């Protein structure tokens, strides 16, 4: 009996894919399951030689030994000299072998972080070389090489150079010192401040490794809604312990600076940036920080926004505030990332216009180590927004992109949405700031205005959940952000495919359908949440679920009704010349695509126009029918995504299969909720029926309006 049970167990183990909790991310390094490929890989990489001597080099050796051995199913070890079929890693200064290969021309292009991977024959031996100018560059090259193998690429004849166009590639953590993550949906913060600096959780090294593998080189540890205590020696010591872990992975630590810190923890009666004692306080504080963290990156600041203190509290400008901090970090080569997410309570102007009005007059007034960090769109990380009009409008100021990876407005960690599609939509938008081809990407990488510094940030979706991001597919957004930050020219399709192959399977029967639904997942979500340019119609405060009827905030521009403006005539926010004229903040050529209701790109129709319910759309349907069509279409696509996933069962371990399936079921349910609630509500204005053929909402508007979520996460 025992024997039979044993055989059954063995059979089960052989036929199912081993359970995985997702913790390994895209760094799973499972044995190559294609025998032919495995043989060629084994022939190409029989051993490795790594030159140099630094903590980073130690990391490289360990990574190659562990990961190559796992991928190739046999021990791949370090040799002291290149043997035939070696992988050879190093810099010209650490290795005579590398310097004799004459890679100067290639290496002159890759800077401090890039690398060259090239197949060579030297002394009659065929070798694969990963060369860089620094050990960090070599580490990036090693991860790239491992990615080639993990995604089953041909590595027999490589000739590749790769380097980032954007200097600062940063994750912003909205993590509080009590480990609560603002807008976090994947558990609590991975920074265990209480136990730091004495207990170093292994998760910190895993975090650094994962980021290094995709080229992220900075992390802002703390929330932009900042706590002055972060800057006390007690916490600096803790931040320094993290910086020590991250350093050999090429990752710098940044902190958020609470503007009123001089008064809150410095005992000064003011925090006026033009006050001498305040300036001295910051200089001393910065000096102290650099004692703890010699390669500290600098500060990220949210000032005079949503209740945060800032220079305007003292009658000063954003430039005065940023420059004071910039002067303090300048001697140490630090930077200030000053956020442009600014809109005022008292200001009656269209919220979409306020940041532009505030900052454009300050162009040219910032120190050269200040970057202005701008959200992708002018309102607030909505499922779809046109690009922010500040891009291209401040040529004298380096402008950083801020994307949000955590899905505050895109279904929390429950909805599957592959964000690189949306990121690409923004990066590829043409600002026309200097004529055709003035893409947002070129503003960000500094090439349009010839800036010497550039940056991009993603608000992290990471927490202490076993799989890091809550939703297993949330990892793709972290991965995709890093990959795009490294190379904005990568297509969303390439990134999705890389990620699927590393995270799940190289089997095309899996890769192709999953890639296809990932690529359409953003449009799917936009359709069932905010089609045709609708925005900001989610639940008040917690931002969970639909709530287009909400009008309870005293502050108009926090209320959904402010944004959709439905009435008996039509729906949408008139930002054209007849309305708030926000459209004027765009360059004429860019504006052209949107300024006329008849010709406006329908993706943004209700963003820029208040449109009559019976307005004829390009499809021939009227606006109301089109709205219904989009909402129903979104739900259908969500259902199809779930149906496709069901068919993927044979290719995925049961743990991750069931997890994703369960979440897709919630996503479909919530998509229906969004559709029904929004259409029933908008119908009270359009007074037209939901077209025949569509399933009828199964609940009433009153029911949807009665739902309350006092404990929705992340708030």
Active-site residues: which are they? 306, 380, 408
Q: Using CB atoms within 10 Å of the CB of residue 188, give its burial: 0 to 12 exposed, 13 to 18 middle, 19+ buried.
A: middle
Q: Which is nearer to ligand GCW, 341 or 359 (CB)?
A: 341
CB of 305 to ligand GCW, least distance (A): 6
Contact 318, 303 (CB under 8 A): yes
Q: Is 540 in the site for ligand GCW (CB under 6 A)?
A: no
174 binds ligand GCW (CB under 6 A): yes
Binding mask 223-242 for ligand GCW (x = CB under 6 A): -xx-----------------
How deeply is 219 buried, as exposed, middle or buried, from its count of CB atoms within 10 A (0-12, 13-18, 19+)?
buried
- Residue 63 Cα to chain centre, angstroms: 25
Site size toward ligand GCW, by CB under 6 A: 11
Q: How many CA atoms lie within 13 A of 605 on its CB side?
A: 23
Q: Which of 182, 295, 487, 589 binds ligand GCW (CB under 6 A)?
A: 182
Write down the least CB distance from residue 225 to ligand GCW, Å: 5
- The sheet with strand 47-50 has its strands ordered as 47-50, 86-90, 125-131, 115-122, 159-162
Query: Which parts of 354-383 interact with ligand GCW (CB under 6 A)?
Result: 380-381
* 557 interacts with ligand GCW by CB under 6 A: no
State which of residues 61, 120, 140, 183 lies at the interface with ligand GCW (CB under 6 A). Answer: 183
Residue 175 interacting with ligand GCW (CB under 6 A)? no
C-beta of 68 vs 413, nearer to ligand GCW? 413
Buried b (16+ CB within 10 A) or exposed e, 160-187: ebbbbbbbbbbbbbbbbbebebbbbbbb
Q: Residues 488, 415: contact at Cβ < 8 Å?
A: no
User: Which run of H or E residues covers position 592?
Assistant: helix 588-592
Nearer to ligand GCW, 338 or 341 (CB): 341
Q: Does 668 bind ligand GCW (CB under 6 A)?
A: no
* CA–CA gap between residue 202 and residue 195 (Å, rounded): 13
Residue 255 binding ligand GCW, by CB under 6 A = no
Residue nearest to ligand GCW (CB): 380
**Binding flag, residue 145, ligand GCW (CB under 6 A):** no
Which residue from 342, 467, 323, 344 is spatially nearest to 402, judged by alpha carbons?
A: 342
User: Other CB atoms closer than 10 Å to residue 419's CB: what's the count?
Assistant: 26
Q: How far is the CB of 306 from ligand GCW (least distance, A)?
A: 6
Rounded to a whole number of angstroms, the minimum distance from the CB of residue 560 to ligand GCW is 14
Shortest Å distance, C-beta 141 to ligand GCW: 35
Q: Per CB under 6 A, does 258 bind ligand GCW?
A: no
Ramachandran angles phi, psi of 708, nearest 5°: -130, 145
Strands 611-612 and 570-571: antiparallel
The residue among 376 and 585 lying less far from ligand GCW, judged by its C-beta, is: 376
Residue 183 or 424 having the CB closest to ligand GCW: 183
Q: Does 497 bind ligand GCW (CB under 6 A)?
A: no
User: Alpha-carbon distance 715 to 696, whole Å?
Assistant: 33
283-312 residues near ligand GCW, rule: CB under 6 A: 302, 306
Tokens coding 617: 């759309």
Q: Shortest distance, CB of residue 399 to ligand GCW, whole angstroms?
A: 16
Q: How far is the CB of 669 from ligand GCW (least distance, A)?
A: 24
> What values do phi and psi take at 612, rounded to 5?
-65, 145
| Contact footprint for ligand GCW (CB under 6 A) | 174, 182-183, 224-225, 302, 306, 341, 380-381, 408
């Amino acid at each position: 009996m025992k024997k039979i049970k044993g055989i059954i167990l063995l059979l089960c183990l052989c036929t199912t894919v081993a359970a995985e909790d997702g913790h390994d991310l895209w760094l799973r390094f499972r044995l190559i399951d294609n025998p032919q490929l495995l043989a060629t890989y084994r022939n190409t990489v029989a051993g490795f030689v790594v030159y140099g001597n630094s903590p980073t080099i130690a990391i490289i050796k360990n990574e190659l030994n562990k990961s190559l051995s796992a991928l190739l199913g046999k021990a791949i070890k370090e040799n002291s000299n290149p043997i035939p079929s070696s992988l050879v890693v190093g810099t010209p200064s650490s290795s005579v072998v590398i310097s004799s290969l004459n890679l100067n021309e290639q290496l002159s292009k890759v800077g401090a972080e890039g690398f060259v991977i090239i197949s060579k024959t030297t002394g009659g031996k065929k070798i694969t070389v990963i060369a860089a100018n620094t050990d960090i560059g070599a580490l990036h090259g090693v991860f790239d090489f491992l990615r080639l193998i993990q995604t089953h690429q041909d590595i027999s004849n490589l000739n590749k150079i790769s380097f980032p166009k954007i200097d600062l590639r940063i994750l912003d953590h909205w993590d509080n010192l009590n480990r609560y993550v603002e807008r976090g949906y994947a558990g609590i913060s991975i920074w265990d401040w209480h136990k730091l600096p004495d207990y170093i959780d292994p998760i910190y090294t895993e975090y650094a490794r994962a980021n290094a593998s995709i080229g992220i080189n900075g992390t802002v540890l703390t929330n932009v809604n900042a706590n002055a205590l972060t800057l006390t020696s007690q916490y600096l010591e803790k931040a320094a312990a993290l910086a020590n872990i991250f350093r050999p992975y090429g990752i710098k630590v940044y902190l958020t600076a609470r503007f009123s810190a001089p008064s809150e923890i410095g005992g000064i009666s003011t925090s006026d940036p033009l006050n001498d004692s305040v300036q001295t306080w910051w200089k001393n504080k910065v000096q102290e920080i650099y004692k703890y963290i010699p390669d500290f990156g600098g500060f990220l600041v949210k000032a005079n926004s949503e209740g945060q203190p800032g220079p305007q509290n003292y009658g000063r400008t954003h430039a005065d505030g940023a420059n004071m901090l910039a002067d303090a970090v300048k001697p140490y080569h630090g930077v200030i990332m000053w956020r442009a997410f600014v809109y005022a309570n008292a200001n009656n102007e269209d919220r979409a216009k306020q940041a532009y009005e505030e900052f454009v007059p300050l162009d040219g007034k910032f120190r050269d180590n200040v970057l202005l960090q701008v959200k992708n769109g002018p309102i607030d990380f909505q499922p779809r927004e046109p690009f922010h009009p500040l891009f291209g409008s401040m040529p004298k100021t380096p402008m950083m992109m801020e994307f949000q990876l955590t899905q505050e407005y895109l279904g929390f960690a429950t909805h599957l949405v592959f964000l690189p599609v949306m990121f690409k939509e923004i990066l590829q938008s043409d600002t026309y700031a200097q004529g055709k081809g003035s893409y947002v990407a070129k503003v960000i990488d500094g090439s349009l205005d010839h800036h010497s510094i550039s940056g991009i940030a993603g608000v992290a979706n990471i927490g202490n959940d076993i799989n890091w991001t809550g939703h297993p597919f949330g990892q793709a957004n972290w991965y995709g952000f890093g990959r795009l930050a490294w190379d904005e020219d990568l297509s969303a399709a390439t990134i999705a495919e890389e990620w699927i192959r590393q995270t799940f399977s190289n089997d095309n029967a899996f890769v192709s359908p999953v890639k296809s639904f990932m690529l359409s997942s953003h449009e799917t979500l936009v359709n069932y949440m905010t089609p045709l340019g609708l925005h900001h119609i989610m639940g008040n405060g917690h931002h969970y679920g639909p709530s287009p009827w909400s009008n309870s905030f005293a502050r108009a521009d926090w209320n959904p009704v402010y944004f959709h403006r439905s009435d008996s005539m039509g729906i949408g926010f008139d930002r054209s010349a007849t309305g708030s004229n926000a459209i004027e903040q765009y360059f004429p050529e860019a504006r052209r695509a949107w300024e006329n209701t008849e010709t406006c790109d329908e993706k943004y129709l209700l963003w820029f126009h208040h449109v009559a319910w019976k307005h004829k759309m390009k499809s021939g349907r009227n606006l109301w029918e089109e709205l219904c069509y989009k909402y129903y279409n979104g739900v259908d696509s969500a259902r199809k995504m779930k149906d496709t996933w069901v068919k993927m069962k044979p290719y995925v371990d049961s743990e991750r299969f069931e997890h994703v399936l369960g979440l897709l079921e919630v996503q479909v349910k919530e998509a229906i909720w969004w559709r029904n609630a929004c259409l029933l509500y908008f119908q009270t204005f359009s007074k037209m029926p939901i077209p025949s053929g569509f399933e009828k909402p199964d609940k009433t508007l009153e029911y949807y309006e009665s739902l309350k979520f006092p404990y929705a996460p992340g708030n």
